[in-house]
Amino acid sequence: MPPDNRARDLSWYDWSVVKDISADGQWVLFEESGEPFAGRYAVSVRRLTDAPIHLGDGSAGGLSPDGKWRSTWPPPDPPRVTLLPIGPGAPRDVPLSGLEHVQNGSARFMADGRHIVVNANEAGHPVRGYLLDLDGGKPRPVTPEGVAIFRVSPDGRYAAAHGPSASLVLCSMETGAMSQLPGVEPGDTSSQWSADSSALYVYHFGEMPARIYRLDIHTGKRTLVRELEPSQHAGVVSIAPIAMSPDATHFAFSYYQNLSTLFVISGLK
């Protein structure tokens, strides 16, 4: 959804789920698991003006800062993250030594383009966030057990994470220490960091229209920046996920629409 407020349908088949959008708002990364793909995840990208491109199978993570790679979690075992090029080049596997399972779609690039964060677990342990160096080395845990990362701030200092109670918290990337976010409301979900790392953009899952707020991580001040809704409201159950550029000028969202549920009511008087 560009700044001119005109929502455009960018879906491919009948189950397109947005995962990320480029900083300039020109590329959208999404998963397609519609009927032509027999229910499996197909990692795909599309420029706003072009047809979709199928890059490979798996669960899509995020775009690299330079726009050249897309991270994905490809089944089956062994657990790994695969980088898929959008142009010339071959896929590149990033091994996950010591990890038992990777959470679908959790692999996202850091702002430096040389590291990726994933949510995964070691055998017999709960999920937590790990930092991967694309040049190699063992994954380094960066959050306490039970705490999953969503995105890391552009300055690399904090991760927006969901704690054991599912509330939105900040986690230090250096020490793993968690801190509460002022101004957070129950149900807040993070969509993006601001470009200067001073705020998170949050919304409530299931709200219609979806209201995007800029939440200052220091003061807790909430500022409404955008309302998102599809052109057709009939049968819309939820709007999520929502991807947006760090400068809050471009948005992409998926929504779930149910038009085929039949209810039978009896015993009315």
pLDDT of 211 above 90 = yes
Mean of all residue pLDDT scores within the chain:
87
- pLDDT tens-digit readout, 219-262: 999 999 999 988 777 767 778 899 999 999 999 998 877 777 67
pTM: 0.86
Instruction: Write out the DSSP string of the chain.
Output: --TT--------SS-EEEEEE-TTS-EEEEEE-SGGGTTS-EEEEEETTS--EEEEESEEEEE-TTSSEEEEE-SSSSPEEEEEESSSS--EEEE-TT-SEE-TT--EE-TTSSEEEEEEE-TTS--EEEEEETT----EE-S-TT-EEEEE-TTSSEEEEE-TTS-EEEEETTT--EEEPTT--TTEEEEEE-TTSSEEEEEETT-SSEEEEEEETTT--EEEEEEE--S--TTEEEEEEEEE-TTS--EEEEEEE------------
- Residue 39 is predicted with a pLDDT of 66
- pLDDT tens-digit readout, 91-113: 988 878 888 888 887 889 999 99
Q: Domain segments of the chain: what residues? A: 10-141
Q: pLDDT confidence of 156, banded at 50, 70, 90?
A: very high
CATH number of 10-141: 2.120.10.30
- Residue 75 is predicted with a pLDDT of 62
Mean pLDDT of all residues in 1-14? 69
- Residue 235 is predicted with a pLDDT of 67
% of residues, the chain, pLDDT over 90? 45
Q: pLDDT confidence of 137, banded at 50, 70, 90?
A: confident
- pLDDT tens-digit readout, 14-31: 778 889 999 888 899 998
% of residues, the chain, pLDDT over 70? 93
- 13-17, 44-48, 59-63, 107-111: lowest mean pLDDT where? 13-17
Better-scored residue on pLDDT, 18 or 163: 18
- Residue 5 is predicted with a pLDDT of 63
pLDDT of 77 above 70 = no
- Residue 158 is predicted with a pLDDT of 96
Better-scored residue on pLDDT, 174 or 77: 174
